[in-house]
Chains A and B, each alone.
Chain A
Amino acid sequence: MTTLSSTTGSIVGSRRHRARRRHVVIAVLLILLAAFFALTLSLGQSFTPPGEVIRVLLGEQVPGASFTVEQLRLPRAVLSVLAGLSFGLGGAAFQIMLRNPLASPDIIGINWGASAAAVFAIVVLSLKGPAVSILAVTSGLGVALLIYVLSFRNGVAGTRLILVGIGVSAMLESFIAYILSNAPAWNLQEAMRWLTGSVNGAQLDQAPPLLLALAVLGGLLLSQARNLEALRLGDDTAAALGVGVARTRIIVIVSAVGVIAFATAVTGPIAFVAFLSGPIAARTIGNNGSLLIPAALVGALLVLAGDYCGQFLLPSRYPVGVITGALGAPYLIFLIVRANRSGASL
């Protein structure tokens, strides 16, 4: 019996150790995020002292600072964080569910429906604001559902879902390319938003719907965190552990595509954030509980840092999607090589 109780002791010890590591990493990510947020608010083309930034945020009118901070920097930073959280969360949920780091929504194209609808709404129908969001979100979900239905045959195999996604996205991409190439007034900035994602021209009133979507759908995703962890052991094992596999899949697909579509309607599909966040989070936190929250934080950091870098640190100005895309490409290749070599998944 002594051996059993000593085993219990060491189990408890190692579990606490893992939990502590998890908490430390999440705390560090939060601090980093806050620091970057503060940096983007105070340092841009010009420097605004932190004191003035705080006064502006508290609602004071500070000459010379109010406009820059309140109209330019704050909306941008807020939307970057919200979009990053959404992409990171949705991406990681897909990667865990399909047990493949490459199966993120941006690569298997499950969120191209939102982009295509947004482009169509803006360029062809000349819509603006909430109408675009609604259209983007509904067709994002519609396309995701279509992909799900098309890959349904005696149940949905993850493999088939990925491949069908690739096929559907090829169609949608060429649709987007066609609309953009025939756009009456060719606006490169606007086009860039829908090809790679950008937070240029962000406005604060775009934030509440995003926040709401994140709260509702993100909450739904987090409620599935344990089931997702069980799914990592394989569909059969998860089912044996009492996970309703099909139900979990539907919830995850709908809510992940939902958060991503809301974000896409505002910022466009910011390249690679959904894809990169999960693996980066996995690297920092290891196998210590659900990846969802750390991945969301990493996503927010990526967008915030990428946008800052694209605005101020390079010879010409790039939208954030180009930065995350170009930086993400080598990492992606590294990941494929690594993942394929070990034959392992995320």
Chain B
Amino acid sequence: MITNSLVASQLSAGYGDNIILDGLDLAVPPGKITTIVGANASGKSTLLRTMSRLISPRHGHVLLDGKSIHRTPSRELARRLGLLPQSPIAPEGIVVADLVSRGRHPHHGTFSRWTAKDDEAVAAALTATKTAELAERPMEELSGGQRQRVWIAMALAQQTEILLLDEPTTFLDISHQVEVLDLLTDLNRTRGTTIVMVLHDLNLAARYADYLVAMAEGRLHVSGKPEDVLTEENVRQVFGLESRIITDPTSDRPIMLPIGRHRMTTGQAR
């Protein structure tokens, strides 16, 4: 049965002798936006890479609709689960339309021909990411925000029900960060795409997540609704940081304000 349930159970993974994920359990809610936060080296990227088959787990499984993704043929998996890595490489001189059409790769065998359905998928991806007018431009000429939209378009052309993104907002300025996150929310709302992403910025993560996951030392520390996860106690435990949580007046989501040691005016020091 296709319910797009992505579940990690008792997952351990790492590089060489270095175990980074240590017996982690996570059930990604289908059709929602899940964001993963955590300190550096807490295993966020490793979790994402293991869930998308880039790394094989030492122990445990990642199950998609009950079937281990590490036993699913790669092309079949790539038609259901897409991943945008942290630093994809744009070949020199490639134009946007060509790059986005690379997303159709899993839908083709070695000798199959390009079809009208492929063209439609590419066009839909370009339209959804508002990059249609850039279609004939080479990647080098685009701004950072435009480039990231094109990469998301490529992942969209893959037409997967689940999309994983590893820090899709790094190297972008704040307006482009919001633009990309709004775009991903649009996709989730209009297409019902399940989105899982790693984000650095706690406040943006809480703002855009339906389900927030906080990791510490290779384990899932706490997960749930943003207002339940982003608490002063959890920030202290996960990041070792004293903070205050207030409520964002525009979205009613929690906002974390670090306390630090200086420039305090209202006597919050406790």
Contacts and interface: CB of A to CB of B under 8 A. Distances in A.
Interface string B95-131: 1011101110110101000100001101110110000
Contacts of B114: 15
A243 B97 contact: no
Interface stretch (B84-92, B226-234, B249-257, B262-270): B84-92
B89 A345 contact: yes
B53 interface: yes
Contacts of B101: 11, 15
Given A232-B89, A233-B88, A346-B92, A11 B105 contact: no
Interface residues of B, number: 49
Interface in A25-83: none
B83 interface: yes
A5 B108 CA distance: 23
Interface string A97-138: 001000000000000000000000000000000000000000
Contacts of B126: 7, 11
Interface string A1-20: 00111011011101100100
B150 to A, nearest CB: 12
A242 B78 CA distance: 5
Contacts of A181: none
Given A153-B16, A232-B91, A240-B85, A10 B135 contact: yes
B12 interface: no
A7 B123 contact: yes
Contacts of B122: 8, 11
A237 B124 contact: no
Given A154-B16, A223-B110, A234-B89, A243 B74 contact: yes
Interface residues of A, number: 35
A188 interface: no
B189 interface: no
Contacts of B136: 14
A201 B87 CA distance: 51
A3 B92 CA distance: 29
A244 interface: yes
Contacts of B204: none
A13 B76 CA distance: 29
A234 B54 CA distance: 12
A317 to B, nearest CB: 39
19 contacts: A10-B132, A10-B135, A14-B95, A15-B119, A153-B16, A226-B108, A233-B102, A234-B85, A237-B88, A237-B89, A239-B53, A239-B54, A240-B78, A240-B83, A240-B85, A242-B74, A287-B94, A342-B92, A345-B92
Given A234-B87, A242-B79, 16 more contacts: A7-B126, A7-B132, A8-B120, A11-B123, A14-B97, A15-B114, A233-B88, A236-B54, A237-B83, A237-B88, A237-B89, A240-B84, A241-B78, A241-B103, A287-B95, A346-B91
Interface of B: 15-16, 49, 52-54, 74-79, 82-95, 97-99, 101-103, 105-106, 108, 110, 114, 119-120, 122-124, 126-127, 132, 135-136, 155, 158
A-B pairs, 7 with minimum CB distance: A242-B78, A236-B85, A240-B83, A242-B106, A8-B123, A242-B75, A7-B123
Interface of A: 3-5, 7-8, 10-12, 14-15, 18, 99, 153-154, 223, 226, 229-230, 232-234, 236-237, 239-244, 286-287, 342, 344-346
